Structure 1
Amino acid sequence: MKTTFKILFFLLVPMLSFAQNTYYLEGKLGKSVIFMEISEYDNNYLEGNYFYEKSLKDIRLNGKFKEQSYNLYFGNDYEETDFEEKFELTKVNSDFIGQWKNKAGKNITVTLKKIDFSKYPKFDFDEETDRNLDVIKVHYIRFSRDSITTYKNQEMIWFTEKHCATPFFRLGNTFSEETRNILNPILEKKHIEMTLNQLSCSSPFSYNTGGGIEYNITITYLDTNLLGYHVFLSYYCGGAHPDFGGEGNIIDLHSGKQYEIDEILAFDKSVTPYDHENFMQFSDYRTNFFGPKIFELVNQNEKFKTPTDEEDYCDYNDLSIWTFPQWNFTELGIEFTPTFARVIRSCETSFLIPFSMLLEYKNATFPYDFKTN
């Protein structure tokens, strides 16, 4: 369960009641090609989002509608005077026509029609989400080779994306053609998903800079069977505070399978990977077995003490912070980072459990041995 990017996605997409109607539109703002999404909610509230074909960066909108008249604003919820941009649109059947205005008084004609999604290739998102406009963005994403590094004498080729700051890697020619053919499409898909998050990093009150998410990718493990890497991201996409988080990944070089931590470790026979249909069983296992055991193994070396200072909120003896930790598969063992509430995120730090301590808990279905030397 990749919690980091799930959490990030929900931060980027405002949580509202279900839309009554949603329109996916493409057209022109003056001479520029744009794509827009408009959703209608109760009380005639509107939420919108649009981006230019040339930049792909989301510009989020709020507004109101009455009958066929739709007003959407960037920079203010729906004030007539204090806004950065405003769309004044009229709905004509399934199309929209009108004007774009900015606070300086500039007016540009806007014409929009329903998107024909059959023109664009489908993209297999890992999560089922209402991100229809991301299908359009995938069509325009462009990667270019940036540099080559080595890890254990194996080439890692790094790529950047044309529209935003999103670095990521592919396997180089020191890997077999068969391995590259299996892994590189998976790594490219990951790069696309990271890019889409970056392009969505905006709010109704701040423009997307293309760098709101700062990605730091580290290769953490490699042998003849497995590739491990870690993604750390710090981000500010509008709102009260910036945030950060990490995500570990381990991939089978022969099959491309990406293992979850519960497929690697099993502290009880009730172990089960995350699935929305068995969430209660998953949650019970994590609460009753996984979290307590991870804490026990870490605490053998750390000997945590309960804080006595009222200003010290970093209580590592709280078992709940170990229930859904971040994890990272490394050459020396598996690092676990307990999860704290956002207001005390600074408490988060990683703790290594060596493979020698995890050997007896290796999931019987995990096909590879742990390094214990």
Structure 2
Amino acid sequence: MKKLTVIILLLCTLILIEKKSYAGTITLQGTIGKIPIVMELNIDPVSASGTYFYKKLKQDIAFEGTAASNNLSLKSESTGDKFELTRNGHTLNGTYTNKKGTKLPVRLNDVEPNSVKLLFVNETLSKTLSDYSKLRLNEIKLIPGKQELLNQKYLIQWYSEPNSKINVFKIISGYPQPIINTINDQLYNEYYQNFEAYFSCSDMDGNAGYEQIEITSCFLNEQFVSICISSGWYCHPAAHPDFGESGITFNTKTGKKLELEDILWFGTGAKPKKESDEWFSYRSKTYAPQIVKLFKRLYPTEMIKPQTEENCDYTDSEVWDFGSWYFTQKGLYVGAYFARVARSCDNPGWSIIPFSELKKMKQANHTLTF
């Protein structure tokens, strides 16, 4: 009897180990028919969900379904694609059926966790990405376009990603080569995060959910490289579309990314660490009210308090505390950010602090010149 009990316990343990080995998140790659795909699966004992993409197209297609023993039954709500798959060791084999009824064989192999390396060297980006994302970004092919000379000195090369139609650039000349390399690496970190955002966002039909990812401002001078990336998206199953912009600015003397407090500082003493309690307090209680005061002087017409709530109220300091910022030919652009019901008020075109004004103000960083 004791021997039988031990055998039963061993069998139960083996079953639990077997089930556990297939639980959690796994990455696979293989083919539907002859078409290469990558899949990410989240599996528990009774259900499964995840996404997959065709390597050529790169766009995520979401699915969900059931898991029973070694069998998976999956369906994409957006495309109607179906998978019937069976686990056999480190492979998943089975059948794919599209919404027209066409059937194709599927063969997928497990990807060893943390085994995927980016084909381009970017340690900062690599640390933030899953194997699934790395396999996608390794398929990115940038097509060179025109070259452009900015401020009669700084040469940049534009590139286009064919599937997303996103255009990006890298610096060719105008700064010392080590600075160019450092800034380009950080720019590409930003670009590839945007590529990943684009391809991982799908609409309810399984197509790209992004309407726009575009570099809408690009400023290079002796002191700064500064860009603005504008985006608009509607990712299923989100309730509403959304849009926004983000700026990124570099010091061309050091190659380091700058924070707004490096440029514009209304506080006293040491600057708080970004996203610390002190930083949030400074932005809300000191920085934003000072921006309102400054813009009331620079733009008195635009800063008149509206008579109704239907109009944009730029006198409210809360809309300025965490907005985007970047340099343009005219000066430092500082954006506003409103609640969803008033998002059309975001980022007015006029909210620029001219270089002449920046020169008059207390310098946040005495190594920077305007």
For residue 164 of structure 1, what is the aligned residue in structure 2? 164
For residue 258 of structure 1, what is the aligned residue in structure 2? 257
CA shift for structure 1 position 22: 0.6
CA shift for structure 1 position 284: 1.4
> Is this contact kept in 2: 1:57–1:199, CA < 8 A?
yes
Distance in 2, matches of 1:295 and 1:70, equals 58
1:288 to 270, 285, 290: 285
Distance in 2, matches of 1:73 and 1:301, equals 57
1:318 and 1:128, CA in 2 relative to 1: closer, same or farther beyond 3 A? Answer: farther
> Is this contact kept in 1: 2:180–2:255, CA < 8 A?
no
For residue 29 of structure 2, what is the aligned residue in structure 1? 26
What runs of 5+ residues in structure 1 fail to find an aligned partner?
1-19, 77-82
Distance in 2, matches of 1:60 and 1:223, equals 44
> Is this contact kept in 1: 2:122–2:185, CA < 8 A?
no
Distance in 1, matches of 2:253 and 2:306, equals 47
What's the secondary structure of 1:140's corresponding residue?
coil
> Is this contact kept in 1: 2:319–2:337, CA < 8 A?
yes
Distance in 1, matches of 2:124 and 2:103, equals 38
Residue type of the alignment partner of 1:172:
I
Q: How does 1:109-128 map to 2 (within 5 A)?
A: 109-116=105-112, 117-118=114-115, 120-121=117-118, 123-125=122-124
Distance in 2, matches of 1:64 and 1:340, equals 42
CA shift for structure 1 position 313: 4.9
What's the secondary structure of 2:226's corresponding residue?
strand
What's the secondary structure of 2:361's corresponding residue?
helix
What's the secondary structure of 2:115's corresponding residue?
helix
Q: Which runs of 4+ in 1 moved over 6 A?
A: none
Q: How does 1:30-41 map to 2 (within 5 A)?
A: 30-40=33-43
1:40 and 1:270, CA in 2 relative to 1: closer, same or farther beyond 3 A? Answer: farther
For residue 296 of structure 2, what is the aligned residue in structure 1? 299
> Is this contact kept in 1: 2:232–2:241, CA < 8 A?
yes
> Is this contact kept in 2: 1:235–1:242, CA < 8 A?
yes
1:329 and 1:273, CA in 2 relative to 1: closer, same or farther beyond 3 A? Answer: farther
For residue 248 of structure 2, what is the aligned residue in structure 1? 249
> Is this contact kept in 1: 2:261–2:271, CA < 8 A?
yes
> Is this contact kept in 2: 1:234–1:242, CA < 8 A?
yes
1:207 corresponds to 2:206: yes
What's the secondary structure of 2:138's corresponding residue?
helix
Q: How does 1:187-336 map to 2 (within 5 A)?
A: 187-203=187-203, 205-209=204-208, 212-220=211-219, 222-238=220-236, 239-268=238-267, 269=269, 271-275=271-275, 279-303=276-300, 304-310=303-309, 312-336=310-334
The C-alpha deviation readout for 1:95-118, integer Å capped at 9, x for no partner, is: 322221112212222122211353
Distance in 1, matches of 2:164 and 2:80, equals 22
What's the secondary structure of 1:249's corresponding residue?
strand
Q: TM-score, normalised by structure 2?
A: 0.81
1:47 and 1:158, CA in 2 relative to 1: closer, same or farther beyond 3 A? Answer: same
CA shift for structure 1 position 242: 2.9
The C-alpha deviation readout for 1:15-54, integer Å capped at 9, x for no partner, is: xxxxx7111111121111211001136x945331111122
1:63 corresponds to 2:65: yes
What's the secondary structure of 1:298's corresponding residue?
helix
Q: State the structure with bigger RCO (CA 8 A, min sep 6), 1 or 2.
A: 1
Question: Higher mean Cα deviation, 320-329 or 122-131?
Answer: 122-131
1:45 and 1:318, CA in 2 relative to 1: closer, same or farther beyond 3 A? Answer: farther
Distance in 1, matches of 2:96 and 2:124, equals 32
- Superposed CA RMSD in Å reads 2.7
1:186 and 1:52, CA in 2 relative to 1: closer, same or farther beyond 3 A? Answer: same
Percent identical pairs in the alignment equals 26
What's the secondary structure of 1:338's corresponding residue?
coil
Residue type of the alignment partner of 2:318:
S
> Is this contact kept in 2: 1:141–1:163, CA < 8 A?
no
Distance in 1, matches of 2:97 and 2:314, equals 53
1:355 and 1:175, CA in 2 relative to 1: closer, same or farther beyond 3 A? Answer: closer
CA shift for structure 1 position 241: 3.4
What's the secondary structure of 1:245's corresponding residue?
strand
Question: Higher mean Cα deviation, 137-146 or 190-199?
Answer: 190-199
Distance in 1, matches of 2:133 and 2:116, equals 14
The C-alpha deviation readout for 1:91-140, integer Å capped at 9, x for no partner, is: 34553222211122122221222113535337534596563311112322
For residue 7 of structure 2, what is the aligned residue in structure 1? none
What runs of 5+ residues in structure 2 fail to find an aligned partner?
1-22
Q: TM-score, normalised by structure 1?
A: 0.80
Aligned length: 337
Distance in 1, matches of 2:117 and 2:98, equals 31
Residue type of the alignment partner of 1:160:
S
1:340 and 1:258, CA in 2 relative to 1: closer, same or farther beyond 3 A? Answer: same
> Is this contact kept in 1: 2:183–2:256, CA < 8 A?
no
1:305 and 1:66, CA in 2 relative to 1: closer, same or farther beyond 3 A? Answer: farther
